[in-house]
Each structure stands twice: as C-alpha cells, then as structure tokens.
Amino acid sequence: MTADRHVAVVPGDDAAPEAVDATMSVLEQLALPVTWTVLKPGESLTAELADASDTVLFGSSNGHTGGLMQLRFGWGTYANVRPVRYIPGVPSSLRRPDDVDYVIVHEALEDVYAGIEGPLSRLAAAGVDLTTQYETAGTRLRYPFTAAGEGVYGIKIYTREGVERVARFAAALALRRKAQGHAGRVTIGGKWNVNPGTDGFFHDVARAVIEETPGVACDSCLADDLGRRFVMSPEQFDVVLLPNLLGDVLSDVGAGTVGGLGMAPSGGYGDSRAYFEPVHGSAPDIAGRNVINPTATLLSAAMMLDHLGLTDAAQRLDSAVRTVISAGDCATPDLGGTASTGEFARAVAGSC
C-alpha cells in the first residue's frame, strides 16, 4: 500500500466554486488513495497548507482568494501546460475541428509578468536611455519617450536558465506525445522581428535546447501568424512553446476554437511541484446559477491525477468527460445545452 497523496482544493471565487464542487463530487466517487483538504469558497490557500500538500487543485480567483502566487512563484512552476483538444460534439467556430489536438506550453515566471513596473521618471533618473533606436536603410529613427512627459514602464525579462528549462520541458512533452502517435514537434512562437534582443533570445535559446533532443523536430512561427494558424489550420500543431504573455493570451484563442473557456484545462509544472487549474477566470457573470461548465476543472483534475501517478483514474475521468460530451444530450449552456453544472457532473460520474 502506498500512502495517500494529500491534495489541497481551493474553490476560489464567483462561479468557480460551483465547478470545483461538481468536480469533487466526481473525484470522491472514484475512491482514490487521496486525502482531500477542501477549503471554503473565497478561502485563501496558505503557503503552509500548499507546502504540506502533494499538489493543489485551484478553482479560480477574482483577486479575493489568495494563494496562486505561492503556487507559481513560491513553487517555481515555470511551465504552464494548456492542452487544446477538440471533443467531438462540441459546437466549434472551426470548419474542421476534429483534428485539433495540440498543447500550448508557456513560460510562467518571467516576461512582463515579473511585475516590475513604475514611472518613466524612475528609469530616466537611473540614467536609462529612453530613446527608441531603429536603423532603417541607413537612417537612424529616434523617438524620445522622455519628451512625451508622464509615462510608465514595464520590464520584460527572459533569462537563459528560464528559457532553457521551459524549452527542455516542451521537448520532453513532445517526446512523450510522439510515443502516443503525435508528430513530436515543438513550434516556438514570439515576436523576434520586432524585439530581436528579447524574443530573438527566447527563440534562439529555446531552439538550441530543442534541437539537442533526439527525435523531436523544431520549427518557429511569429506570434501574429500563430494566432491566425490557431484559427485556420490548427491541426498542424503538436507542442507550441511561447513566452508568458503571448502564451497566456493565445491559449484563450486556442480555447475559443474547441468550445470556449469551459473546455480548457491547465497545469503549472516546476522541477519538483505542480498545481492544476482551469484556464478560465471566476466567471462572475454566471455566478450562483449552477450553469458553469465544469469540464475545464474536471480535465485539470485528470491532469492532476496523471501527475500523481494515478494514471488509470486520470484516463477514466478524461474518457468519461469525452463520452458525456460526445453523447450530446447533457451539455451546459456554453455548449448549447440546458444541463446544469450538477447534472453534467452526475452524468460524468455515471460514466466513470
């Protein structure tokens, strides 16, 4: 007998607790070797409880429920994994959604999300040259920001270590997916045409790491065109590696092609810890109505069970969700149905 895993469950705010509650009703029925510590809606996760748990399932916070920053920056979960996979039966904005099955991996600790912001005057006082300097056909174009008066800055940071570790993660994921029949390819996205110093660095460092991984192919695509391809030819992707901001934004585009935010799970992975949460926010506009689609939270939970080594249970949960959605007679309103959150969860529990 292996000892129980300890999982902390954070319902979060607005409609998120309804999705978490539905997910817990399915998980409890699976009778897993897990001790669950389920917080109350709106209750913050303490660093002590997080650190005493093997992993965390986080609903979603509107800023009231705290703890997410501990899971990201405290735990160093640098790789955010967001599968974009079409489940047959879901109304899609795409003409041919059936082959959409890729994974966005975005770096999660660096970029502008480091939160280093302030007034422009502070940079000027530190002696930073605030003049845009572009060379075009031998002419130096200068746009002096200081002359524009009051303003603010935000710093975008990529470190070699930060890019290398998330690229290693993406390459390892592509290898695992290749063993399951996928292409085994990482597509790097970014804006190295505009920002060769930063996004060019991200691209070059990531590519060098991926090319060192035998069996994994690598290509790249500017982020703007990547957004277009997510909509027009998403079947071409396997693993897509992006910096933090672009990955966060483009993963909502990906979600929009496979039925919306109600369908998009995620996991945040570091070297030793991982936590799981739906991509969506707290959905305040539908709170209290028992209509939030719990699929994103259920699929995040399936990723969590996989991480805990409970592979069979992960697969049972994943395929139960697919079975219920594909059957087409029990869908929440975001998927065009009339089922409540609870009804959908009971159907999933019945299919596990």
Residue 103 binding partner per list Mn ion, ligand NAD, none, with a CB distance cut-off of 5 to 8 Å that depends on partner kind: none
Q: How far apart are the two ends of the chain, measured CA to CA in Å?
A: 23
Residue 248 binding partner per list Mn ion, ligand NAD, none, with a CB distance cut-off of 5 to 8 Å that depends on partner kind: Mn ion
| Smaller CB separation from Mn ion, 211 or 252 | 252
Smallest distance, Å, CB 250 to Mn ion?
Answer: 10
Smallest distance, Å, CB 65 to ligand NAD?
Answer: 8
Q: Are 82 and 279 in contact (CB under 8 A)?
A: yes
* Backbone dihedral angles phi then psi of residue 295, each to the nearest 5 degrees: -60, -45
Residue 80 binding partner per list Mn ion, ligand NAD, none, with a CB distance cut-off of 5 to 8 Å that depends on partner kind: none
Helix and strand element counts for the chain (H, E): 11, 14
Q: Which residues bind Mn ion (CB under 5 A)?
A: 248
Residue 261 binding partner per list Mn ion, ligand NAD, none, with a CB distance cut-off of 5 to 8 Å that depends on partner kind: ligand NAD
| Smaller CB separation from Mn ion, 280 or 346 | 280
Separation between Cα atoms, residue 308 and residue 80, nearest integer Å: 17
Q: Which residues bind ligand NAD (CB under 6 A)?
A: 19, 60-63, 68, 261-262, 277, 280-286, 292-293, 296, 334
| Smaller CB separation from Mn ion, 14 or 248 | 248
Helices 311-327 and 295-307 pack at an angle, to 10 degrees, of: 160
Q: Are 275 and 55 in contact (CB under 8 A)?
A: yes
Structure tokens at 213: 């991984």
Structure tokens at 86: 């079409």
Q: Would you call 332 helix, strand, or coil by DSSP?
A: coil
Residue 340 binding partner per list Mn ion, ligand NAD, none, with a CB distance cut-off of 5 to 8 Å that depends on partner kind: none
Smallest distance, Å, CB 264 to ligand NAD?
Answer: 8
Smallest distance, Å, CB 53 to ligand NAD?
Answer: 18
Residue nearest to ligand NAD (CB): 281
| Nearest Cα to Cα of residue 282 among 59, 71, 70 | 59
Q: H/E/C letters for each residue in 217-252?
A: EEEEEEHHHHHHHHHHCHHHCCEEEECHHHHHHHHH
Smallest distance, Å, CB 27 to Mn ion?
Answer: 24
Structure tokens at 169: 């993660």
| Smaller CB separation from Mn ion, 247 or 270 | 247
Smallest distance, Å, CB 231 to Mn ion?
Answer: 18
Residue 60 binding partner per list ligand NAD, Mn ion, none, with a CB distance cut-off of 5 to 8 Å that depends on partner kind: ligand NAD
